[in-house]
């Protein structure tokens, strides 16, 4: 029998062959992410993993660890610290970097504001979210990173739904949606010119619920603020915002003590809490399944400003 005849026969097995082996959808997503991580390590000279302390970047670290086991993660974790972080998230960040034996690089938005005399955002919720871009671009330049791995997911937002897994940015960090490279099969082209940079999103195809199911299945540790706890909050346009050194109540605000958890972990100035009694992963996941509000809509104060908010930020070099 010739080679081609043999192959044809084997590729189209008889219906009786039945199911031998198959991967659960979560394992398929994991396989895809690990493949992407290994491509990054092989294709780039100086990659870095952008770490925020949130569940998505924690998942990234967990996947990276699997991709390179028994070796260590072959790139540093980089945190762009706005100075408005939850202390629990910072503590967790330091613990995790130590736990996986990764180098942790922290660069502060505070320092960029001083060096570049940037104008601090004002108002009751002074978000430094937008200013992170400056610090990020400086950090990329300082360490000559040619690739930054991020935890963005396509289900989060309309602009992200259109971004490639390997997203080439020019030397200003800008995304050009009309000039994206075709991304074919599982072949990733990370070639760039000097000064350019690639943002790579290994969990592009995961949804919020996929992340939570993975965290549960793999028993991934999370910062405590993801679980219900008591906190002093004010209500702002239907969202609960924690009182902190960065957000102070006005005379008109009613300060309430509520049992809350966070669904996303960003800055204290732009992340809202949700009322909750969920103190275990199972309870958190059950709540998420039964809520009919999207993650960004529920917990991000800054995305509501304009419908194209994320698209604008990405075009300007944002994650």
Chain residues 21-60 in contact with other proteins, contact rule CB under 8 A:
21-25, 27-32, 34-35, 38-39, 41-42
The SS3 of residue 317 is coil
| Rounded-to-integer distance, Cα 22 and Cα 8, Å | 21
What is the nearest approach in angstroms of other proteins to the Cβ of residue 260? 19
Which region, judged by CB under 8 A, interacts with other proteins, from 3-11, 81-89, 119-127, 239-247? 3-11
Dihedral pair phi/psi, residue 98, rounded to 5°: -65, -45
Among 105, 108, 110, 205, binds other proteins (CB under 8 A): 205
Residues 131-160 that bind other proteins (CB under 8 A): 154-155, 158-159
Which residues are CB-contacts of 179 (< 8 A; sequence separation ≥ 6)? none
Which pair of tokens denotes residue 230? 């008591």
Site mask for other proteins (CB under 8 A), range 226-255, x = bound: ------------------------------
Closest CA to 261 of 278, 237, 285, 286: 278
What is the nearest approach in angstroms of other proteins to the Cβ of residue 234? 21
Among 91, 171, 287, 298, binds other proteins (CB under 8 A): 298
Closest CA to 130 of 262, 268, 263, 309: 309
Judged by beta carbon, residue 39 or residue 81, the one nearer other proteins is 39
What is the nearest approach in angstroms of other proteins to the Cβ of residue 89? 24
DSSP letter for 253, please. P
| Rounded-to-integer distance, Cα 164 and Cα 186, Å | 12
**Judged by CB under 8 A, does residue 316 bind other proteins?**
no
Exposed / middle / buried, residue 81 (Cβ in 10 Å: 0-12, 13-18, 19+) = buried
Among 162, 195, 248, 305, binds other proteins (CB under 8 A): 162
* Cβ atoms of residues 271 and 295 within 8 Å: no
**Judged by CB under 8 A, does residue 5 bind other proteins?**
no
What is the nearest approach in angstroms of other proteins to the Cβ of residue 180? 6
Residues 169-198 that bind other proteins (CB under 8 A): 177-178, 180-187, 189, 191-193
What is the nearest approach in angstroms of other proteins to the Cβ of residue 43? 9
**Judged by CB under 8 A, does residue 307 bind other proteins?**
yes
Which region, judged by CB under 8 A, interacts with other proteins, from 12-20, 117-125, 128-136, 246-254? 12-20
What is the nearest approach in angstroms of other proteins to the Cβ of residue 246? 25
* Cβ atoms of residues 132 and 121 within 8 Å: no
What is the nearest approach in angstroms of other proteins to the Cβ of residue 197? 13
What is the nearest approach in angstroms of other proteins to the Cβ of residue 109? 27
CA 142 vs. chain centroid, Å, equals 22
**Judged by CB under 8 A, does residue 70 bind other proteins?**
yes
Dihedral pair phi/psi, residue 101, rounded to 5°: 70, 35
Judged by beta carbon, residue 31 or residue 255, the one nearer other proteins is 31
Dihedral pair phi/psi, residue 108, rounded to 5°: -105, 135
**Judged by CB under 8 A, does residue 305 bind other proteins?**
no
Exposed / middle / buried, residue 306 (Cβ in 10 Å: 0-12, 13-18, 19+) = exposed
């Amino acid at each position: 029998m010739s080679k081609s005849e043999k192959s044809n026969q084997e590729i189209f097995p008889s219906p009786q062959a039945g199911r031998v082996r198959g991967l659960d959808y979560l394992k398929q997503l994991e396989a895809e992410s690990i493949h992407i991580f290994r491509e990054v390590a092989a294709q780039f000279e100086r990659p870095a993993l952008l770490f925020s302390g949130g569940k998505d970047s924690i998942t990234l670290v967990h996947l990276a660890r699997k991709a390179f086991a028994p070796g260590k993660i072959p790139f540093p974790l980089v945190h762009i610290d706005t100075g408005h972080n939850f202390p629990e998230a910072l503590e967790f960040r330091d613990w995790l970097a130590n736990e996986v034996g990764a180098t942790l690089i922290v660069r502060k938005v505070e320092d960029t504001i001083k060096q570049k005399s940037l104008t601090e955002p004002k108002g009751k919720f002074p978000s430094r979210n937008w200013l992170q871009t400056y610090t990020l671009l400086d950090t990329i330049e300082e360490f000559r990173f040619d690739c930054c791995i991020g935890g963005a997911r396509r289900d989060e937002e309309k602009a992200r739904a259109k971004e490639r897994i390997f997203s080439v940015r020019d030397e200003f960090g800008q995304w050009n949606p009309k000039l994206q490279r075709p991304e074919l099969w599982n072949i990733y082209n990370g070639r760039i010119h000097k000064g350019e940079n690639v943002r790579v999103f290994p969990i592009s195809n995961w949804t919020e619920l996929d992340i939570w199911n993975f965290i549960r299945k793999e028993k991934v540790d999370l910062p405590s603020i993801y679980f219900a706890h008591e906190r002093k909050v004010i209500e702002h346009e239907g969202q609960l915002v924690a009182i902190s050194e960065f957000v102070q109540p006005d005379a008109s605000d009613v300060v309430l003590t509520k049992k809350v958890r966070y669904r996303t972990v960003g800055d204290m100035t732009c992340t809202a809490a949700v009322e909750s009694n969920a103190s275990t992963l199972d309870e958190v996941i059950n709540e998420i399944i039964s809520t009919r509000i999207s993650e960004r809509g529920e917990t991000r104060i800054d995305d509501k400003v304009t419908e194209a908010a994320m698209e604008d930020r990405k075009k300007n070099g944002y994650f």
